Amino acid sequence: MVCKVKREKNYNLEVLRVVSCIMVVVIHVANYYSRGYGLGEVNNASYIFSIICNVGSRIAVPIFFMISGSLLVDETLLIKKSLRRVGNTLWSLVVWSAIYYIWNYFYRDRLYDFRLIFAEPVKAHLWFLYAIIGMYLVLPFLQNMFKNMQDILMRYFAALWFLFLTIEYVLALCELPVSYNIPLVGNSCYLGYFVLGYIVKGTIKKVPISTKTCYVGAVLCLATVIIFTYICTVLQGSHYDRLFQYRNILIAIPSALIFYDALKNEHRPYKEKTKKMLSFLSRHSFNIYLCHVIFLDIVKLEFAPRSISAFIGIPLYTLFVFGCSLLFSVIWQFLCNKLKAIIANKEMAE
């Protein structure tokens, strides 16, 4: 008889998931301030603070993909399980697309053209669901491929991915289009982040990097983005955001370094109360991501956020949006659980 030992949860990943969720809200609040530069609505100091917050939070989305990849690629290969994930995520996309269609129509006075559904989501942040559905569809192939792959080939994959990420991004900045992408390593930065999560997880003991090196490297990369963003913005007279893209190597490197350090220090002790709080917030992180734009819209239309300094507005509105989103998620989850219980009871009665 074989006894399966339940692996202890890595609470550093829970910290990353929660902090990344908050960072996504920071990005969207800071974006509103950043885009006010050149319109006479944001002064120089507020703009600098907004791009510091914006760039510093850009590691959030790559880390979300890496967390998923590190956990899912290592799972037992089950096609049905992957398809169930696809179905659940697709259902979330349908439900939230409908919610935001209604929200945009009645609150924002905007009408969405459903002919664009495969090119542009109803609300911009729902792009993440499009991307993750694709990951879940090909997950069985990734599991079979990478779990049986030699270490040298995984390092080769990572090196090629970083290389072509850099080349294609530089070519895009130079407005030189690339029609023929390199298969697997060059056609999706999000697939690369997803797989990179698994690769980093498997190379921690083989490629030692100190915590200090991780954070110094991350800060240097992000500081470079901040400096060049500010220079380009001043030169063109309006907010320059092309360096904020997730295919920017200077966003990819700090994301990987922070993720590496979190995995490396997985045995860091946490108090039981802290673990419960992290688990609670982590459990609601997906719903918070989905619903937070509702409260962001309210902030933009009702509060005139640029009327106060970014030094106050970004933390204040981030706290407001995150807090309202968390409350919404708790109520949403409660209602969903009640609905499931009612349906289950009816089925049992029949």
312 has pLDDT over 90: yes
Q: Is the dihedral of CA 248, 252, 35, 291 positive or negative?
A: positive
In a domain? residue 290: no
Rounded percentage of the chain residues whose pLDDT exceeds 90 = 63
Q: For position 29, what pLDDT does the model report?
A: 96
pLDDT score at 7:
56
CB–CB of 242/173 below 8 Å? yes
Once rounded to an integer, what is the mean pLDDT over residues 218-225?
97
**Does residue 349 lie in a domain region?**
no
In a domain, 8, yes or no: no
Distance CA 182, CA 189 (A): 12
User: In this structure, are residues 50 and 90 in contact, taking their beta carbons and an 8 Å threshold?
Assistant: no
Token output for 278:
């992290």
pLDDT at 323: 97
234 to 122, 184, 191, 244, 311: CA distances (angstroms): 33, 38, 34, 16, 20
What is the number of other CB atoms lying within 10 angstroms of the CB of residue 346?
9
The model's pLDDT over 187-214, given as tens digits with 9 standing for 90+, comes to 678 999 999 999 998 888 788 899 999 9
Radius of gyration for the alpha carbons in the chain, expressed in angstroms and rounded:
21
Residue 178 inside a domain? The answer is yes
Residue 42 identity (one-letter amino acid)? V
Is residue 148 a part of any domain in this protein?
Answer: yes
User: How far is the C-alpha of 89 from the C-alpha of 99, rounded, in Å?
Assistant: 15
Q: Considering the domain boundaries, does residue 27 fall inside one?
A: no
User: What is residue 255's predicted lDDT score, i.e. its pLDDT?
Assistant: 96
Q: How is residue 43 annotated by DSSP?
A: -
Contact (CB, 8 A) for 146 and 202? no
pLDDT at residue 326 greater than cutoff 90? yes
On whether residue 304 sits in a domain, the answer given is no
CB 81 within 8 A of CB 47: no
Quickly count: other Cβ atoms within 10 Å of residue 164's Cβ. 20
Task: State yes or no: pLDDT of 227 exceeds 70.
Answer: yes
Residue 227 lies in a domain: yes
pLDDT at 235 over 60: yes
pLDDT digits (tens, 9 = 90+) for 113-166: 888 888 889 999 999 999 999 999 999 998 888 888 888 998 899 999 999 899
Q: How far apart are CA 288 and CA 126, in angstroms?
A: 12
Q: How far apart are CA 337 and CA 329, in angstroms?
A: 12
Domain that holds residue 156: 58-268
Indicate the average pLDDT of the chain: 90
- Per-residue pLDDT band for 8 (boundaries 50, 70, 90) equals low
Report the number of distinct structural domains present in the chain.
1
The DSSP secondary structure of 2-19, one letter per residue, reads: PPPPPPPP-HHHHHHHHH
- Is the model's pLDDT at 181 over the cut of 80? no
Q: What would the mean pLDDT of 60-74 be, rounded to a whole number? A: 92
**pLDDT tens for each residue of 87-96:** 999 999 999 9
How far apart CA 225 and CA 223 sit, in angstroms, is 5
Span 285-307, pLDDT tens digits = 999 999 999 999 999 999 989 99
What are the tens digits of pLDDT across the range 10-42? 888 999 999 999 999 999 999 999 999 988 889
SS (H, E, C) 296-311: HHHHHHHCCHHHCCHH
179 has a pLDDT exceeding 80: no
